[in-house]
Chains A and B, each alone.
Chain A
């Protein structure tokens, strides 16, 4: 594609094409979008974050990431669509415009680039990072069990061959540590949304403990609003609740850490499940998935904007 308008959002793309798209978006919108490299993956790929900002210094911010589990291709594809949506709707959609006039949005589309590359070239079903584990032939860590929130507790595996291997220590994966360092140094994130697929859920902390978060009532009611907005487009039904009550106990998870860092509006999505394809969601489902998810994202971002803390 010559420009981001002609990028084919209705198909899956290898990492080089997504990275080229990001650069195009930055070049086309220099006053709104910039690219920050927050670190390198184990294999040396840049960890790119798109920053959408209309100015100001260290404004309150919203984080969105997609693709931390590499085989969940609809998430990276949706993230690409979100990026374009933000630039096209700024100045048109009053709610998004109001948000961006006061806050920044950070979007990491390919959160696990080594894994994503591997899904395109070696193993379509790869989920973890690609760092070797000493003393084991099995490669990789589940980056959604690697965070310092109940790390090592139930709901994660100590076996390097498991799909939910937590890693040798919290933040052992550069893909995780880079976000940790960035969030800590920024110190002004107000919402953090981590996007997975598939099973149609919108979840809030905690996953590692049954103790409810102190903001449970507000997070629950906002989740309900978000999934109601999502369903208004195609009728897609989501479940919602805390991770431990809605799925199962999972320790070392992303949003448990972000919530414990003081980011109240911490959510994780599980995108579409048609009941037929699992991780191999057909490409014609990308745009409908992204469109309906955008409505839920807007609900969370708008609430964050209107309820400063």
Chain B
């Protein structure tokens, strides 16, 4: 079972079209193994990207280097998935 320990989901907001292009360019950086949850649309719409633990530092440095604002939407994806799983299991047991 694939786990997502330490994966974060970053919510990125571009200030202008230039920054939007820079965020779009991340799609081609396959070494980061990014998963775009919400793709690049326009300046007013945030972009959400799941970043594997091994790429976190590089991606954050990359964004900060370009002065692109981001926030951490999900701190630890696996923790959230574990909670989801727990809820499913307890819901399944409830009728018993």
CB-CB < 8 A to B92: which residues of A? 11
**Among the listed A12, A163, A248, A273, which residue makes an inter-chain contact with B84, where contact means beta carbons less than 8 Å apart?**
A12
B1 and A280 within 8 A (CB): no
CB-CB < 8 A to A282: which residues of B? 84, 87
Closest to B71 in A: A275
A248 and B41 within 8 A (CB): yes
B80 and A11 within 8 A (CB): no
The answer for the CA separation of A248 and B23 in the assembled complex, in Å, is 14
Given contacts A11-B91, A163-B35, are A277 and B80 in contact (CB under 8 A)? yes
B39 and A275 within 8 A (CB): no
The answer for the CA separation of A27 and B77 in the assembled complex, in Å, is 40
B91 and A125 within 8 A (CB): no
Within 8 A of B (CB), among A83-128: 121-125
CB-CB < 8 A to B11: which residues of A? 275
Total contacts A to B, CB within 8 angstroms? 64
Within 8 A of A (CB), among B1-53: 1-2, 4, 9, 11, 30, 35-41, 45, 48, 50
Interface residues on B, range: 20 to 34
Interface residues on A, range: 20 to 34
A199 at the interface (CB under 8 A from B): yes
A20 at the interface (CB under 8 A from B): no
A278 and B37 within 8 A (CB): yes
**Among the listed B2, B77, B87, which residue makes an inter-chain contact with A283, where contact means beta carbons less than 8 Å apart?**
B87
The answer for the CA separation of A275 and B13 in the assembled complex, in Å, is 13
The answer for the CA separation of A1 and B94 in the assembled complex, in Å, is 11
Least Cβ distance of A157 to chain B in Å?
Answer: 9
Which B positions have Cβ atoms within 8 angstroms of A? 1-2, 4, 9, 11, 30, 35-41, 45, 48, 50, 73-74, 77, 80-81, 84, 87-88, 91-92, 94-95
Pick 9 A–B contacts, CB within 8 A, sort by A.
A1-B95, A11-B88, A11-B91, A125-B50, A161-B30, A163-B35, A248-B40, A277-B74, A279-B37
Which A positions have Cβ atoms within 8 angstroms of B? 1, 6, 8, 10-13, 121-125, 161, 163, 198-199, 246-248, 273, 275-280, 282-283
| 14 more A-B residue pairs beyond the given contacts A1-B95, A161-B30, A276-B74, with a C-beta to C-beta distance below 8 A | A13-B88, A121-B1, A123-B2, A124-B81, A163-B35, A199-B38, A246-B41, A247-B39, A278-B38, A278-B74, A280-B81, A282-B84, A283-B84, A283-B88
